[in-house]
């Protein structure tokens, strides 16, 4: 019990907000398939987390950046 309470004191508390959005049913089903989640809540949470963590979301030309990595990897294989 003491260990758990110490751990909680060390954790940074985050503010949580309830949000809603409107999505087409087919988009939501595709999102669930891509994330591997069956619930809307978990699929959206996983997608948002990925978007925030993905290195390509902060790059102006995502496809050019990805292509650069592929070309670099292919050159290293040669």
Q: Where are the domains of the chain?
A: 2-77
Among 34, 62, 60, smallest CA distance to 46 is for 34
Query: Exposed/middle/buried for 43, CB within 10 Å: 0-12, 13-18, 19+?
Result: buried
Select the more confidently predicted residue: 38 or 74: 38
Three-class SS state of 68: helix
Among 57, 32, 56, smallest CA distance to 45 is for 32
- As a whole number, mean pLDDT of residues 13-21 equals 83
Rounded to two decimals, the pTM is 0.56
User: Is it the case that residue 57 has pLDDT exceeding 60?
Assistant: yes
Select the more confidently predicted residue: 59 or 35: 35
What per-residue confidence (pLDDT) applies to 5? 47
What per-residue confidence (pLDDT) applies to 11? 56
* C-beta of residue 37 within 8 angstroms of C-beta of residue 46: yes
């Amino acid at each position: 019990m003491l260990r758990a309470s110490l751990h909680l004191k060390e954790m940074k508390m985050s503010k949580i907000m309830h949000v809603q959005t409107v999505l087409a049913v087919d988009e939501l089903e595709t999102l669930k398939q891509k994330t591997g989640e069956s619930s809307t809540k978990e699929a959206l949470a996983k997608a948002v987390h990925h978007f925030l963590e993905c290195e390509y979301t902060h790059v102006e030309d995502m496809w050019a950046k990805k292509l650069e990595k592929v070309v670099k990897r292919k050159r290293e294989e040669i």
